[in-house]
Amino acid sequence: MNTYTDKLRLLETQINEIISGISKIEEEFSEEINNVHPIYGKSARNLVHYLGFRSYDIDDLQEQLRDLGLPSLSNIEGHVMRSLHSIKTIINYMLGKPSPEKRKGIISIKKSNKILTRNTKLLFGYKSKKRRTRIMVTLPGSSSEDIPFITRLLNAGMNSARINCAHDDPETWEKMISNVRSAGEKQFKSCKIMMDLGGPKLRTGSILPGPKLIHIKPEKDALGQVINPAKVWIAPPEYLPPDDTASLHIPVGIEWFNSVKRGDTIQLLDTRGKKVKIIVEGRKGNGRTGSCFSSAYVSTGTELKLFRPDNTEKLAHNVGELMPIEQYITLKTNDFLFLHKDQRPGEPAKYDDNGNLMEAAHISCTLPEIFDDVKTGEPIFFDDGKIEGTIVDTEPDRLKIKITYAKDTGGKLKSDKGINLPESDLKVSGLTEKDRQDLGFITEFADTVNFSFVNDVNDVQQLQDELVKYDTQLGIILKIETQKGFKNLPRILLKAMQSYPIGVMIARGDLAIETGWKNFASIQEEILRICEAAHIPDVWATQVLENLAKKGVPSRAEITDAALAQRAECVMLNKGAYIEKAVKMLDKILRRMQRFQKKKETMLPKLDDADKLYLSHDKFNI
């Protein structure tokens, strides 16, 4: 059995071996380290040190250190060499040879924290009072006309505003940014503007439009009895319903509309020949609301008959032009779907009167160049993984896909839904033509560009080359959302560190599908560690408090997820009807959790009455 001294000498040998190996890796990548911006010099070296450290199987080493009551190197990310030399120094003293281990130019724990704080401030600006982690909020297009909404978000805790270039247009973006700047000045609050490039996003193409109609649908109880009437909006076609009004818009001519009064009844025959009544209510804005207690399908051209309260019939009229209803393709397990290159609208499967399949469903995609890269047998996912399939046949102009998973009732595949090919070696990456156009606006108006679908150093180089054209010190956030992007993250960071300031967004939506559900939790963890090793701030993004933001009530799981997000430097919220409530909740969670966690390090705040064997967290309420 090893003596105490033997154990210490074994540890000394193992650590010496690791330090020597790290030094060799540092020398191997010295050119990449030397090429980074001076502000990132020591951080780049520490990143390489950390990857060198992680190239060893250190489970046994950590166990041996814990057995002897020594630090187990579990929080080594930001200061690798200093931590290893500190352990060596302790072992030296324990072996009776008090000689401290030193090396010039390595980062101390205190310096590591200062560097990360500085880099975070460079990218995200000042933090909120009593909260370390910043909050980024995705703005809806309607914020271009709603300064009070932005003011409320700032007061709730928003630190940076995100605008997605995949939506709206430069005119709308400029109004949104102006409102953020104006609201910030009035509140004496700094708010950074972050703009997402759309990137080469692979999505489903259009689907053949459905009939031009609206479905009026009152709320019913379990017995089929109406408990709340459906609300409709009656107005000329140019007047859209207010946000707080029913979205079912019956467009009518201005003259007929002016003759409609409160208390009138509108009678019609719907597409099934069913008699339907709509009771006209008060005027609201540029239109009138109405209540309907019957289910009805109303199409373009449906005749409307207007009756006064005394049942006197007034003018008849016809429903104006309605938008076609959004179609979808229903897919069940073992169904087939054809994904084709040409951009003709997709269609659901067609069956004969006996239910026999005549023609399989088909749809196009937004990046037909992927057809050169996919192979038979590779998996394919649609709509954030809700529908899964396998490519069973490849042709020059189409792919045949067998659906391997969908809901029992069938998955509904709509247009503009994401497609993921996690095992395909896709060559599609970098900046799109639209991205290059949008960069001109971003460099003039924004503080940071969020670079989507970063897969390798060539993508980063493309962005850096494009930014040279502009006189700007634009921040860059690299969105890691593919298996390839994760694999190449260390090299991506070293390349990006030639610019400053930079950050990383863990784009968890696509990343979870690309890397596999079973792998995602550990991959998310590794990205946090790699960023900490490089002293690069990271963003915890996608589906944070999504239920709360969209429905007003959080799930238990997403509260825990939001608490874990405190380990990142910034947390991103997507838009939703209850986004203000979500920002307030996230602000409270983050401020509370920083008493218990600092990055990966567990904190142990005092528990009142613990000495009496009671637990209380009252003092942590904010």
Q: Residue 272's CB: how many other CB atoms inside 10 A?
A: 9
Distance CA 60, CA 342 (A): 56
pLDDT digits (tens, 9 = 90+) for 283-321: 877 899 999 999 999 999 999 999 999 999 988 999 999
How many residues in total does the chain contain? Answer: 622
Distance CA 159, CA 137 (A): 8
The DSSP call for residue 598 is E
Q: Residue 248 has what pLDDT?
A: 87
Distance CA 377, CA 392 (A): 6
Q: For residue 554, is the peptide bond before it cis, meaning its omega torsion is within 30 degrees of 0?
A: no
Distance CA 1, CA 291 (A): 86
Confidence of residue 621 (pLDDT cuts 50, 70, 90): low
Distance CA 280, CA 265 (A): 6
Q: Residue 477 has what pLDDT?
A: 98
244: CB partners within 8 A, 6+ apart: none
Q: Residue 620 has what pLDDT?
A: 63
Distance CA 35, CA 311 (A): 84
- Cβ(417)–Cβ(387) below 8 Å: no
Q: Residue 253 has what pLDDT?
A: 93
430 vs 591: which has the higher pLDDT: 591
pLDDT digits (tens, 9 = 90+) for 42-95: 999 999 999 999 999 989 999 999 988 888 998 999 999 999 999 999 999 998
- Cβ(530)–Cβ(490) below 8 Å: yes
pLDDT at 1 over 60: no
DSSP 13-57: HHHHHHHHHHHHHHHHTHHHHHTS-GGGHHHHHHHHHHHHHHTS-
* Residue 167, token pair as written in the block: 């939506």
Q: What percentage of the chain carries pLDDT values higher than 70?
A: 98
pLDDT digits (tens, 9 = 90+) for 478-508: 999 999 999 999 999 999 999 999 999 999 9
C-alpha distance from residue 73 to each of 63, 106, 533, 534 (Å):
10, 16, 13, 17
Q: Residue 611 has what pLDDT?
A: 74
Confidence of residue 247 (pLDDT cuts 50, 70, 90): low
pLDDT at 579 over 60: yes
35: CB partners within 8 A, 6+ apart: 494, 498
pLDDT at 176 over 50: yes
- Average pLDDT score, the chain: 92
Distance CA 426, CA 422 (A): 9
C-alpha distance from residue 97 to each of 214, 454, 462 (Å):
85, 50, 54
CA angle 355, 359, 365 (to 5 degrees): 130
The DSSP call for residue 247 is S
Distance CA 516, CA 508 (A): 11
| Closest residue by Cα to residue 600 from 157, 15, 249, 113 | 113
**Over residues 213-241, mean pLDDT:** 90
Q: Residue 619 has what pLDDT?
A: 67
Dihedral, CA of residue 108, residue 111, residue 112 and residue 117, to nearest 10? 170
Distance CA 251, CA 239 (A): 9
Which ranges constitute the DSSP H helices of 188-285? 254-258
* Secondary structure of residue 459 in the 3-state scheme: helix
pLDDT digits (tens, 9 = 90+) for 331-365: 999 999 999 999 999 999 999 888 888 999 999 99
**Over residues 387-413, mean pLDDT:** 95
What domains can you pick out in the chain, each with its CATH number? Answer: 4-107 (no CATH), 116-200+429-602 (3.20.20.60), 213-318 (2.40.33), 329-420 (2.40.33.10)
Q: Residue 245 has what pLDDT?
A: 56
* Secondary structure of residue 440 in the 3-state scheme: helix
Q: Residue 421 has what pLDDT?
A: 93
Q: Residue 535 has what pLDDT?
A: 97
Residue 507's beta-bridge partner residues?
541
Confidence of residue 117 (pLDDT cuts 50, 70, 90): very high
DSSP 315-381: EEEE--PPPBPPP-EEE-TT-EEEEESS-PPBB--EE-TTS-EEE-EEEEBS-GGGGGT--TT-EEE
Q: Residue 10's CB: how many other CB atoms inside 10 A?
A: 13
Q: What percentage of the chain carries pLDDT values higher than 90?
A: 76
